[in-house]
Homo-oligomer: A and B are copies of this chain.
Amino acid sequence: MSQSKYAECIKACIECAHACEHCADSCLSESDVTKMAECIRTDRDCSQMCWTAAAYMSRGSQFIPEICRICAEICEACAAECEKHNMSHCQACAKACRKCAEECHKMTGVHV
């Protein structure tokens, strides 16, 4: 993909969006979905913002610092929720969220 200064962050956003979509779907297949409700909600919010951030970065938008700031915030909230659950999809999602938050933080001070 792109060799731009956003390449690593785009990659982390896409990995995170993918992990969140997969985690939400896997949560819906658990034997007790009721206790996964909050995880499904944060997965939904996080995946949408990560896909969105990837799009803004792909076109070099002037709003990348602001988008990455909110994306990092939502990723951290989603990671905190996923970390409460032992299932491998939640643990993998938490890890992708932490990585994405880290990469997004680096973009918040980027000069575009």
Contacts and interface: CB of A to CB of B under 8 A. Distances in A.
A55 B59 contact: no
How many monomers of this chain does the complex have?
A: 4
Contacts of A60: 22, 25
A79 interface: no
A26 to B, nearest CB: 9
Nearest to A10: B18
Given A21-B55, A63-B77, 19 more contacts: A2-B22, A17-B54, A22-B58, A22-B59, A24-B59, A31-B34, A33-B33, A33-B37, A40-B40, A41-B61, A41-B62, A45-B63, A47-B55, A48-B52, A51-B55, A63-B70, A63-B73, A66-B73, A70-B70
Interface of A: 1-2, 10, 14-15, 17-18, 21-22, 24-25, 28-29, 31-34, 36-37, 40-41, 44-45, 47-49, 51-52, 54-56, 58-63, 66-67, 70, 73-74, 77
